[in-house]
Amino acid sequence: MTGLAISGWRIAMTRLAIVAIVLAAWEALAASGLLFRDVVPSLVAIVQALWRLLGNPDFYANLGITGAEIGMALLIGGFAGLAAGILLGANRFLSRAYEALVYYLGPTPKIIFFPVMIMWFGVGTGSKIAMGVVSCFFPIAISAASGMRQIDRVLIRVGRSFRASAWQMVSKIYLPAMRAPLVNGIRLGLGVAIIGTLLAETKLSNRGIGYLIIQAYSTFDMPRMYALLIVLFVLSIGANAIISRLGAAKSPRAA
């Protein structure tokens, strides 16, 4: 590609400049009182709220609950999605019969199922986990199914020629061969599981990060809400990055 390479240093400086400008504009907006009351609280107030939050054991208790809900959801939804995806990807007949169902149900708003989940699983963590499961099942199933289909057919023939059992085929050939699309599906699944679980918590809960957020809203404690959102975003983006990193690692470099 033509054009001079731009050094990493210049990029870092640009990023710093952008962050600085945004923060300065924020502070100016906060001080100006243009927006009513606390919609844009001063950065100092936000940092203070963040500090209080991170020092509060109650916060960590709630974080633990939300984390456990998401973890369970990913476990259940992940396995179900993986199993469904592998079946659909491996069997042309099943795929033609049922994959459209999964594909078209995927991009639907899942939170609207929440009233049903409450009826089935109660108002506690059960319904939140159920929301997470319903959310993450679809991206994982879809990426597993398409991941199966993009496996080089010759690898499957090699496995069959060595008479590998079904379980061996899955663990030694299918899963390694479709690691990249699968990890991507899990990454997406985590993202929607987080959203599904937390939205459910904001709707009806008395525990968890979603509950804390809506509580901050109803008490109009804006700095606290910002602090909670910051923590949430940092954790989500961090988890996303970790999964991407795990997925990209360890393929031998091409000669």
Closest CA to 85 of 156, 151, 132: 151
As a whole number of angstroms, the distance between CA 164 and CA 167 comes to 8
- Could you say which of 42, 48, 184, 240 contacts another protein (CB under 8 A)? 240
Decide: is 116 part of the binding site for another protein (CB under 8 A): yes
Decide: is 183 part of the binding site for another protein (CB under 8 A): no
As a whole number of angstroms, the distance between CA 146 and CA 40 comes to 45
Footprint of another protein on 186-215 (CB under 8 A): 187, 191, 194-195, 198-199, 202-203, 210, 213-214
Decide: is 26 part of the binding site for another protein (CB under 8 A): no
Yes or no: say if 40 and 93 are a contact pair by the CB < 8 Å rule. Answer: no
Decide: is 123 part of the binding site for another protein (CB under 8 A): no
Decide: is 9 part of the binding site for another protein (CB under 8 A): no
Residue 31 CB partners (closer than 8 Å, separation 6+)? 42
As a whole number of angstroms, the distance between CA 255 and CA 19 comes to 40
How far CA 166 is from CA of 94, 118, 148, in Å, comes to: 17, 38, 14
- By beta-carbon proximity to another protein, the closer residue of 23 and 119 is 119
Binding site for another protein (CB under 8 A): 1, 3, 6, 10-11, 14-15, 18, 35, 39, 92-98, 100-101, 104-105, 107-116, 119-120, 187, 191, 194-195, 198-199, 202-203, 210, 213-214, 216-217, 220, 222, 225-226, 229, 232-233, 236-237, 240-241, 255
